């Protein structure tokens, strides 16, 4: 690594729910710097969740993130001319980033409806341990479990 590591920026909580994790999620949804559009999408999804489940949308969001966050992942390691998929624990920040990415990608993959509806449906499905994003997490865990024999390569 060359030069200094970039300093971590403090992120302000979102204006409506005063939640830092939600503000981070809005930033992940944002495209081309259009934060207001991203906020409309996320808050629209939250309104739909509130309407359909009659529960606090922030609780549903937290539950969905918890269900989609991976505990283990595999990283490629080169040992003696062979590449091994070595299972490793996922750091907290990366865990959130992966879960955000998977939820957004699963929402975008659903076609035929506006983004806020797709996002609401994916968040509700993830909160109930269903949906495409949860399946992605389970695939990652399955891959780590299958390569457990190479776990000793994680410590050099």
Reported as a single tens digit per residue, the pLDDT across 14-55 is 999 999 999 999 999 999 999 999 999 999 999 999 999 999
CATH number, domain of 64, equals: 1.10.455.10
Number of folded domains that form the chain: 1
Q: Is 120:48 a contact under the CB 8 Å cutoff?
A: yes
What 3-state DSSP class applies to 69?
coil
pLDDT at 79: 85
Residue 45's domain spans which residues? 20-154
Q: What is the pLDDT of residues 138-151, one digit of tens each?
A: 999 999 999 988 88
Give every CB contact of residue 25 below 8 A, 6+ residues apart in sequence: 42, 61, 100
Helices (H), 54-114: 57-68, 92-109
pLDDT at 144: 92
> Would you say residue 95 has pLDDT above 90?
yes
**11 located within any domain:** no
**111 located within any domain:** yes
**14 located within any domain:** no
- pTM reported for the whole predicted model: 0.91
């Amino acid at each position: 690594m060359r030069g200094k590591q970039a300093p971590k920026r403090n992120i302000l909580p979102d204006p409506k729910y005063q939640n830092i994790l939600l503000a981070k999620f809005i930033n992940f949804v944002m495209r081309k710097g259009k934060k207001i559009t991203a906020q409309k999408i996320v808050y629209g999804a939250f309104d739909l969740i509130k309407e359909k489940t009659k529960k606090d949308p922030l609780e549903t969001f937290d539950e969905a993130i918890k269900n989609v966050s991976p505990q283990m992942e595999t990283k490629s390691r080169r040992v003696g001319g062979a590449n091994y998929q070595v299972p490793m624990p996922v750091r907290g920040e990366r865990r959130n980033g992966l879960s955000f990415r998977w939820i957004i990608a699963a929402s975008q993959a659903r076609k035929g409806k506006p983004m806020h509806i797709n996002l609401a449906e994916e968040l509700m499905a993830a909160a109930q341990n269903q949906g495409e994003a949860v399946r992605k997490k389970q695939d990652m865990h399955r891959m780590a479990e299958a390569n457990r024999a190479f776990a000793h390569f994680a410590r050099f």
